[in-house]
């Protein structure tokens, strides 16, 4: 793909993510206009809003995969990996603002999503094994709380950088599910 075509595609997908999150009935013409590309360019690539939305979901999961790879969940020290993961996912949530219920229901990303969930699950087991998280909590609870905290940080404190928002998420998570610290009262 030519570099200008790749840039246009990225712009259409990011604009589509934003507009479709704001208004699920946004038209391809509206998305093309907001992305400053000719609507025929978008229609050549996507024949329907549903097809565009599926491409947005796939692009989002590619970004999630990059964030997970960058966090080095199985190699980096567990606290460092946690922060890098949270920071990366906050950035993804901001760049790809989609309705997560719709993404989870999209069969075109199910396999990709399941593989990434397994990778994060393995990291969370490692975090428990290495003492970062309390072993008496069900792993499902950490799996439920962490994505919510990351999404809330991405949307609720948009003025903070992803790194600073990650500081808040990790601090909140560890104070709630972290091991007791000897200096704590």
CA geometry: angle 167, 85, 140, nearest 5 deg: 95
Which pLDDT band holds residue 105 (cuts at 50, 70, 90)?
confident
Model pLDDT for residues 145-169, shown as the tens digit of each residue? 999 999 999 999 999 999 999 999 9
75 CB burial (10 A radius; 0-12, 13-18, 19+): exposed
Which domains are assigned to the chain? Answer: 1-47 (1.10.10), 56-177 (1.10.357.10)
Res 183: pLDDT:
58
More confident residue, 166 or 177: 166
Q: How far is CA 61 from CA 17, 69, 165, in A?
A: 12, 12, 21
Ramachandran sector of residue 24 (left: φ over 0; alpha: ψ -120 to 50; beta: rest)? alpha
Which SS3 state, helix, strand or coil, does residue 178 take? strand
Q: What is the pLDDT of residue 181?
A: 56
**Structure tokens given for 102:** 């719709």
Average pLDDT of span 113-140: 91
4-52 pLDDT tens trace: 777 888 889 999 899 988 888 888 889 999 999 888 888 888 888 888 8
d(CA 34, CA 155): 21
Helices (H), 36-109: 39-45, 49-71, 78-95, 100-105
Model confidence at 123: pLDDT above 60: yes
Nearest to 92, CA basis, from 109, 112, 70: 70
């Amino acid at each position: 793909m030519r570099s200008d075509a790749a840039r246009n595609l990225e712009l259409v997908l990011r604009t589509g993510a934003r507009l479709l999150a704001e208004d699920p009935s946004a038209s391809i013409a509206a998305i093309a206009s907001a992305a400053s590309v000719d609507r025929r360019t978008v229609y050549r690539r996507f024949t329907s809003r549903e097809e565009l939305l599926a491409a947005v979901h796939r692009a989002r999961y590619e970004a999630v995969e990059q964030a997970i790879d960058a966090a080095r969940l199985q190699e980096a020290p567990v606290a460092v990996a946690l922060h890098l993961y949270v920071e990366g996912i906050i950035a993804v949530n901001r760049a790809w603002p989609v309705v997560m219920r719709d993404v989870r229901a999209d069969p075109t990303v199910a396999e990709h999503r399941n593989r990434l969930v397994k990778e994060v699950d393995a990291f969370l087991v490692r975090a428990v094994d290495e003492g970062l998280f309390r072993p008496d909590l069900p792993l499902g609870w950490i799996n439920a709380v962490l994505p919510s905290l990351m999404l809330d940080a991405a949307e609720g404190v948009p003025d903070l950088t992803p790194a600073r928002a990650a500081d808040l998420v990790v601090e909140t998570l560890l104070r709630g599910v972290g091991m007791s610290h000897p200096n704590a009262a």
